[in-house]
């Protein structure tokens, strides 16, 4: 070892001045400075002298500290005697503003001192580089560790933070990590960072193409080193046409990532290996975590797919008695939380007994014979009504010898299997249907411009008795009825021309009988549009055709019957608009039958009649579709007409009324006869009441005559007082009004009833009965007991007709009572008239104490012309007419025998009642 090497070794490890002292016989390399006792520099010598900024050319000599650079100058205090036995690290101002780093010692030299120094710039630079590498290594390890331990969700944020720290540490304006996209084999920017004062060259997710594929992936590359390369223009555009640095990361699969540094050419303290280590510290854990993430995502997708498909793997364990199942598959097979490792027998218990034995046998063949397993099985389900769950079980052997493994998978094929079973059942049903159907399915091949029979279903034989072998192009035409062959030929031409046809013709069977066939066919063409074959069917419509002919004939007969019928027959919609009417109806409405559709029946009805008509129609239902009523119409140029009208509703499948069919007959003459009969009975009643009415009028006349006689006497005596005359005149006026009321009521009662019924208060009829019969009954000794109606109700009809009914009942009771009184003068007759009501009806009772009616006659008293009175006394129409009046008002007239005598009840519906 040389003395220089020994001195350099001492500088690296020792601080003592003795340790650094060189032998006197050997000259010291480096720099020698001669100093005086105060530290002034007297002389500079040796090899480093030219590198100093001051060579002592000027006087006086400077102090040693004046030659040093800060902070080296601050470390020199005192005089040389204080510096001995100490190691000195001094930095001198060098030439061209450089700094000379030295290390040395002071030793006496005569009356002065000599400072011996060595150049340690390389030593300091190496130490600084070592420290820098250590820091880089620590930074890389720290970044790598944080990327490995952070969560996958925070991975992008943590990586971006490290990228930003890297850019700030080495002042990189733009930095990005580029990864290779495994799907598209394209380079993709994973993360990037740009300084606030630098343009943004890259954004996350940006695709750079394949321009990095041809670069050397072993060392960092600078763009200036790529001049002349074919990829240089593309790379230059990627770096914004500026300077850049590319650092690769290589793994077992090649270059997997690049660290891009834009507007940057490198750092003097970072060599190639440092750059590679930094790129690896960032890219290696990132790629590992991304592969881990893709692996987890793949596992999740596989597990989700297995759940959706109902599939999963299975493996028979080496013992052959146990099976290991995928968790997702186990959850699909058993809803209970069963373990994935199962005894083979327990797993087989989940399979339907019909498939269990076959599956067990195939598993044994797989184990013993290495025969691949492929079968379909059903799961055992507790509910037999549910569709079975089918699984495809497949397995194979991997490895050989002791390393053999029996693995496979189970796939839920329930939808496919059930559809196959349903399709097979449907095909079987279709085949059976075709074979047993009355329709004949046929196929005709298109050969040389003609259609030739190629197929007939089995139903041809029972229908026509022919076989396919007997069906040729020529014989088929011969079977067609001669009158229908033109139709058959036109059917063929239309089928070839239009592609489909529907026709009807007769075909002869083996016995010689003809059948009406409905022929529907469709022509099939190839890709060029040329005819290939025709597919169609024959449907035997013989019965339907004959029935249609019979119906047509019947319709003609019924049309004649309807048109020639004397009854009015029509159809109309629920809004009363006619859709059809026969001739009698048209004659009544003075128009032609063709003008009837569109006419509304409501035009001939009053508002009350129309409302009642519509209400009655709305009450029709599928259960009670028929309704009959008498309606009153005002026909053109006539007075009121009455029709007996019967309706039948026609309903759709939802029970909605679509149309009404009606039959009517004119009941006008009958109704007028009834009115005349009622009027005759009314006038007969007035005739019978003539005595009572005369008494009713004579009574006020007598009162007026007496008043006049008294007034005349007073006038003859000259004793006339105003008050007396006023009182007599008022009495005369009251009696005149009383007689006028009786006469007016007789005139109203004798008038014909109105045509249409009107709502009225039944109390009016009770009051009218009392006014007409009250005095006459009292004159005959009969007590009329009328209880006033203390309620207000309305009934529909004619007030005079209800009064006629009450008068008939009271007069009949009077006659019976008077006859009994003549036989028994002690008998005190009375007639009671009272009423009651509820929410739907009002009832008026007429009761007497005449002893009642013979029970044998109760059922006949309402018959016309039936009477118990002597000949010439009664007409026998009173009760019959009364019964008809009450019935026309919608009520009921009845009679029973009470404790005292007969009790009649007039029951009428209340207007607006339930």
pLDDT tier at 272, thresholds 50, 70, 90: confident
| Residue 865 pLDDT greater than 50, yes or no | yes
Quick one: what percent of the chain has pLDDT higher than 70?
83
Q: Which residue has the higher pLDDT, 116 or 711?
A: 116
| Residue 176 pLDDT greater than 90, yes or no | yes
Give the count of beta carbons closer than 10 Å to the beta carbon of residue 44. 19
Assign residue 590 a region: left if phi > 0, alpha if psi is -120 to 50, beta otherwise?
left
Q: If we measure between CA atoms, which residue out of 112, 47, 121, 120 comes closest to residue 84?
A: 112
Q: Which residue has the higher pLDDT, 13 or 887?
A: 887
Q: Which residue has the higher pLDDT, 859 or 476?
A: 476
Structure tokens at 129: 């580089």
What's the mean pLDDT in 460-477? 83
Structure tokens at 856: 């044998």
Structurally, at CATH architecture level, domain 436-546 sits in 2-Layer Sandwich (3.30)
Could you tell me where in the chain the CATH 3.30.450.40 domains are found? Answer: 134-297
Q: What does the alpha-carbon distance between residue 504 and residue 484 come to, in Å, rounded to a whole number?
A: 9
Judge whether 446 and 423 are in contact, CB under 8 Å.
no
Q: What does the alpha-carbon distance between residue 604 and residue 590 come to, in Å, rounded to a whole number?
A: 12
Alpha helices in 110-231 (DSSP H): 121-149, 155-169
| Residue 251 pLDDT greater than 60, yes or no | yes
User: What pLDDT sits at residue 864?
Assistant: 62
Class of residue 221 by CB neighbours under 10 A (exposed 0-12, middle 13-18, buried 19+): buried
Q: Which residue has the higher pLDDT, 807 or 730?
A: 807
Q: What does the alpha-carbon distance between residue 841 and residue 835 come to, in Å, rounded to a whole number?
A: 11
For the chain, the residue count is 914
| Residue 780 pLDDT greater than 60, yes or no | yes
pLDDT tier at 503, thresholds 50, 70, 90: very high
| Residue 27 pLDDT greater than 50, yes or no | no
Q: What does the alpha-carbon distance between residue 274 and residue 267 come to, in Å, rounded to a whole number?
A: 10
For 134-297, CATH number?
A: 3.30.450.40
All residues at 6 or more sequence positions from 73 whose CB lies less than 8 Å from its CB, including other chains = 65, 66
| Residue 746 pLDDT greater than 80, yes or no | no
User: What pLDDT sits at residue 55?
Assistant: 62
User: What pLDDT sits at residue 629?
Assistant: 81
Structure tokens at 621: 């239902």
Strands 892-897 and 841-848: unpaired
Mean pLDDT of the chain: 80
| Residue 23 pLDDT greater than 50, yes or no | no
Range among 214-218, 317-321, 648-652, 679-683 with highest mean pLDDT value:
648-652
Fill in the DSSP letter of residue 480. B
Q: Each residue of 359-392: pLDDT tens digit?
A: 999 998 988 888 999 999 988 877 767 788 888 9
| Residue 149 pLDDT greater than 90, yes or no | no
Fill in the DSSP letter of residue 98. -
**Among 27-41, 165-179, 223-237, 437-451, which stretch is predicted with the lowest mean pLDDT?**
223-237
Can the peptide bond before residue 71 be classed as cis, meaning omega within 30 degrees of 0? yes
Structure tokens at 672: 């007028």
| Residue 862 pLDDT greater than 80, yes or no | no
| Secondary structure element (H or E) that encloses residue 897, with its range | strand 892-897
pLDDT tier at 672, thresholds 50, 70, 90: low
Q: If we measure between CA atoms, which residue out of 378, 384, 370, 386 comes closest to residue 410?
A: 378
| Residue 809 pLDDT greater than 70, yes or no | yes
pLDDT tier at 7, thresholds 50, 70, 90: very low
| Residue 684 pLDDT greater than 60, yes or no | no
Could you tell me where in the chain the CATH 3.30.450.20 domains are found? Answer: 3-119, 310-335+342-381+388-416, 436-546, 565-662
Q: What does the alpha-carbon distance between residue 768 and residue 773 come to, in Å, rounded to a whole number?
A: 9
User: What pLDDT sits at residue 326?
Assistant: 85
Fill in the DSSP letter of residue 40. B
Assign residue 874 a region: left if phi > 0, alpha if psi is -120 to 50, beta otherwise?
beta
Judge whether 179 and 210 are in contact, CB under 8 Å.
no
Q: Is 190 helix (H, G, I), strand (E, B) or coil?
A: strand
User: What pLDDT sits at residue 28?
Assistant: 47
Class of residue 668 by CB neighbours under 10 A (exposed 0-12, middle 13-18, buried 19+): middle
Q: Each residue of 63-86: pLDDT tens digit?
A: 777 778 766 555 677 888 888 888
Q: Which residue has the higher pLDDT, 880 or 425?
A: 425
For 565-662, CATH number?
A: 3.30.450.20
Q: What does the alpha-carbon distance between residue 93 and residue 68 come to, in Å, rounded to a whole number?
A: 6
| Residue 16 pLDDT greater than 50, yes or no | no
Q: Each residue of 560-618: pLDDT tens digit?
A: 666 667 788 888 999 889 988 888 888 877 788 888 898 888 888 888 888 888 888 88
Fold (topology level) of 675-909: Heat Shock Protein 90 (3.30.565)
User: What pLDDT sits at residue 843?
Assistant: 92
| Secondary structure element (H or E) that encloses residue 363, with its range | helix 353-369
Class level of CATH domain 3-119? alpha beta
Q: If we measure between CA atoms, which residue out of 262, 218, 209, 225 comes closest to residue 240?
A: 262
| Residue 443 pLDDT greater than 70, yes or no | yes
User: What pLDDT sits at residue 524?
Assistant: 92
pLDDT tier at 277, thresholds 50, 70, 90: confident
Fold (topology level) of 310-335+342-381+388-416: Beta-Lactamase (3.30.450)
């Amino acid at each position: 070892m040389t003395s220089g090497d020994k001195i350099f070794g001492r500088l690296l490890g020792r601080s003592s001045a003795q340790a650094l002292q060189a032998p006197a016989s050997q000259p010291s390399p480096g720099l020698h400075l001669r100093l005086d006792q105060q530290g002034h520099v007297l002389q500079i010598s040796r090899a480093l002298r030219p590198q100093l900024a001051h060579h002592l050319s000027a006087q006086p000599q400077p102090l040693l500290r004046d030659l040093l650079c800060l902070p080296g100058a601050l470390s020199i205090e005192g005089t040389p005697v204080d510096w001995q036995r100490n190691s000195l690290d001094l930095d001198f101002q060098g030439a061209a503003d450089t700094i000379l780093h030295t290390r040395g010692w002071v030793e006496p030299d005569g009356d002065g001192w000599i400072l011996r120094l060595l150049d340690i710039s390389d030593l300091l630079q190496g130490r600084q580089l070592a420290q820098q590498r250590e820091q880089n290594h620590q930074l890389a390890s720290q970044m790598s560790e944080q990327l490995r331990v952070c969560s996958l969700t925070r991975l992008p944020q943590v990586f971006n933070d490290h990228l930003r720290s890297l850019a700030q540490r080495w002042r990189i304006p733009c930095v990005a990590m580029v990864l290779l996209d495994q799907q598209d084999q394209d380079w993709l920017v994973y993360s990037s960072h740009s300084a606030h004062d630098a343009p943004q060259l890259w954004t996350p997710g940006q695709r750079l193409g394949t321009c990095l594929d041809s670069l050397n992936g072993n060392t960092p590359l600078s763009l200036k080193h790529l001049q002349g390369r074919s990829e240089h223009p593309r790379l230059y555009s990627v770096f914004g046409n500026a300077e850049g640095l590319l650092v690769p990361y290589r793994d077992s699969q090649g270059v997997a990532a690049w660290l891009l540094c834009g507007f940057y050419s490198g750092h003097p303290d970072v060599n190639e290996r440092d750059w590679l280590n930094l790129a690896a510290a960032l890219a290696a854990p990132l790629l590992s975590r991304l592969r881990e993430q893709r692996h987890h995502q793949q596992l999740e997708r596989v597990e989700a797919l297995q759940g959706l498909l109902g599939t999963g793997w299975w493996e028979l364990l080496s013992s052959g008695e146990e099976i290991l199942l995928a968790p997702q598959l186990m959850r699909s097979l058993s809803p209970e939380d069963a373990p994935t490792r199962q005894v083979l027998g327990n797993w087989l218990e989940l399979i339907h007994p019909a498939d269990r034995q076959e599956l067990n046998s195939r598993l044994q063949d797989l184990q013993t014979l290495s025969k691949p397993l492929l079968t379909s099985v059903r799961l055992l389900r507790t509910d037999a009504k549910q569709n079975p769950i089918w699984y495809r079980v497949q397995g194979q052997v991997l490895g050989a010898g002791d390393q053999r493994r029996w693995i496979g998978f189970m796939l839920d094929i329930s939808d496919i299997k059930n559809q196959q079973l349903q399709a097979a059942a449907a095909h079987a049903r279709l085949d059976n249907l075709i074979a047993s159907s009355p329709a004949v399915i046929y196929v005709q091949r298109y050969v040389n411009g003609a259609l030739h029979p190629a197929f007939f279903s089995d139903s041809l034989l029972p229908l026509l008795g022919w076989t396919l072998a007997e069906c040729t192009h020529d014989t088929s035409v011969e079977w067609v009825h001669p009158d229908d062959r033109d139709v058959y030929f036109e059917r063929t031409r239309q089928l070839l021309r239009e592609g489909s046809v529907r026709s009807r013709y007769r075909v002869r069977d083996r016995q010689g009988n003809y059948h009406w066939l409905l022929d529907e066919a469709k022509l099939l063409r190839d890709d060029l549009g040329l005819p290939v074959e025709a597919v169609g069917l024959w449907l035997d419509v013989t019965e339907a055709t004959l029935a249609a002919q019979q119906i047509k004939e019947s319709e003609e007969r019924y049309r004649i019957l309807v048109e020639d019928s004397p009854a009015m027959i029509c159809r109309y919609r629920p809004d009363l608009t006619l859709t059809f009417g026969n001739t009698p109806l048209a004659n009544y409405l003075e128009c032609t039958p063709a003008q009837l559709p569109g006419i509304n029946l409501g035009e001939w009805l009053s508002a009350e009649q129309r409302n009642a008509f519509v209400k009655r129609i709305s009450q029709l239902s599928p259960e009670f579709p028929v309704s009959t009523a008498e309606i009153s119409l005002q026909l053109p140029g006539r007075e009121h007409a009455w029709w007996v009208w019967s309706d039948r509703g026609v309903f759709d499948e939802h029970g909605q009324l679509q149309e009404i069919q009606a039959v009517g007959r004119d009941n006008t003459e009958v109704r007028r006869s009834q009115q005349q009969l009622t009027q005759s009975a009314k006038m007969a009643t007035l005739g019978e009441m003539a005595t009572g009415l005369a008494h009713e009028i004579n009574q006020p006349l007598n009162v007026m005559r007496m008043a006049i006689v008294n007034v005349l006497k007073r006038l003859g005596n000259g004793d006339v007082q105003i008050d007396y005359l006023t009182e007599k005149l008022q009495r005369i006026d009251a009696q005149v009004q009383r007689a006028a009321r009786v006469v007016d009521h007789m005139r109203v009662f004798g008038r014909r009833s109105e045509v249409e019924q009107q709502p009225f208060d039944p109390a009016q009829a009770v009051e009218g009965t009392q006014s007409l019969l009250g005095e006459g009954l009292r004159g005959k000794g009969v007590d009329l007991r009328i209880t006033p109606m203390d309620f207000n109700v309305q009934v529909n009809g004619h007030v005079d007709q209800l009064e006629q009914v009450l008068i008939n009942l009271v007069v009949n009771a009077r006659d019976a009572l008077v006859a009994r009184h003549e036989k028994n003068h002690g008998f005190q007759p009375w007639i009671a008239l009272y009423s009651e009501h509820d929410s739907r009806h009002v009832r008026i009772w007429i009761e007497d104490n005449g002893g009642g009616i013979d029970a044998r006659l109760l059922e006949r008293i309402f018959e016309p012309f039936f009477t118990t009175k002597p000949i010439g006394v009664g007409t026998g129409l009173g009760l019959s007419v009364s019964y008809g009046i009450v019935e026309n008002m919608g009520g009921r007239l009845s009679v029973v025998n009470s404790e005292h005598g007969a009790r009649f009840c007039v029951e009428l519906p209340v207007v607006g009642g339930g």
